């Protein structure tokens, strides 16, 4: 009876050790992640294979380094100088993803903190280089799309061949000193008012031209009509009008002599 506890204790310890070894040997790689095997005793990071989603068994003396391989984004605020030396704050977001098949090479060459060691410095350098080409007014108003594309081009060139792909750069906000911002907004407002005034002036000029053309047309028509009317035509028109009036059932027609130019006169009605 006294021997049972002595025999049972090593068994219990062995079971515990076995459970620890099994739990350490089974590794789960989650959705959107990739795993890289790290062998401390035989070569370090394995660079020729990336483990996909699911359960994997590894030797308990090795480690599985797990990182996201889907598209990710980071946002940052950077202090940069414009072309005239004015400090501005640029808020931006960057979308990126590691190269799945080269995840081991990325970690081996740049470390597990590759975002801090590789991506952040490249973005900051690109932002300073690009923003430094523009004035505060251009940064604030009309150059956002161009700046985004230029930063993206610089970052992609800088990271070429380093196993990290930058997909898109978005400049969300450009913060200028209050005095500069107010001056730019005032200038933009004045330009807008000037454009509105020019539009109204052009509209008024077009309307005046329209009225002038219509008046000229009427004057030309009257001139042509006056030139075409002869005494004979006027007399015929007068006779036609008199005949139409005489045919009215509500009129009593009395013809007395003739009017001017030999036209008959109609007198009287009911």
Which is more confident, 102 or 175?
A: 102
The per-residue pLDDT for range 203-213, each reduced to its tens digit, is 778 887 888 78
* Residue 235 · residue 245 · CB < 8 Å: no
pLDDT band at 254 (very low <50, low <70, confident <90, very high): very low
Domains of the chain: 18-68 (no CATH), 72-176 (3.30.479.30), 231-262 (no CATH)
* pLDDT on residue 257: 46
- pTM metric for this prediction: 0.59
Task: Name the β-bridge partners of 38.
Answer: 45, 63
What is each CA distance from 225 to 4, 66, 141, 211, 219, in whole angstroms? 136, 96, 60, 21, 10
Residue 228 sits at the vertex; the CA angle it makes with 222 and 229, to the nearest 5 degrees, is 90
Residue with tokens 């009257």: 222
Residues 6+ apart with CB under 8 A from 83: 132, 133, 134, 135
Q: What token pair was written down for 30?
A: 């989650």
Candidate from 38-42, 134-138, 217-221, 240-244 with smallest mean pLDDT: 240-244
pLDDT, tens digit (0-9, with 9 covering 90-100), for 68-78:
999 999 988 88
Q: Which of 86-90, 167-171, 195-199 has the highest mean pLDDT?
A: 167-171
């Amino acid at each position: 009876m006294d021997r049972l506890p002595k025999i049972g204790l090593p068994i219990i310890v062995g079971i515990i050790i076995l459970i620890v070894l099994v739990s350490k040997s089974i590794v789960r790689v989650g959705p959107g992640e990739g795993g890289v095997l790290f062998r401390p005793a035989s070569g370090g990071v394995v660079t020729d294979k990336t483990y996909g989603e699911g359960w994997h068994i590894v030797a308990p003396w090795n480690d599985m380094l797990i990182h996201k391989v889907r598209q990710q984004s980071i946002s940052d605020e950077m202090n940069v100088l414009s072309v005239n030396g004015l400090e501005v704050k640029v808020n931006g977001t960057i979308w990126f993803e590691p190269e799945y098949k080269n995840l081991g090479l990325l970690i081996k060459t740049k470390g597990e903190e590759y975002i801090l060691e590789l991506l952040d410095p490249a973005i900051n350098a690109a932002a300073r280089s690009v923003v430094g080409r523009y004035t505060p007014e251009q940064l604030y108003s009309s150059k956002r799309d161009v700046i985004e594309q230029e930063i993206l081009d610089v970052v992609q060139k800088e990271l070429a061949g380093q196993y990290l792909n930058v997909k898109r750069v978005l400049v969300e906000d450009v913060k200028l000193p209050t005095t500069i911002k107010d001056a730019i907004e005032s200038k933009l407002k004045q330009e807008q008012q000037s454009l509105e005034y020019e539009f109204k002036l052009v509209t008024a000029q077009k309307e005046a031209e329209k009225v002038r053309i219509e008046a000229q047309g009427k004057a030309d028509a009257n001139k042509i009509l006056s030139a075409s009317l002869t005494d004979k035509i006027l007399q015929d028109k007068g006779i036609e009008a008199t005949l139409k009036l005489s045919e009215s059932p509500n009129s009593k027609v009395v013809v007395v002599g003739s009017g001017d130019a030999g036209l008959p006169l109609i007198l009287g009605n009911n």
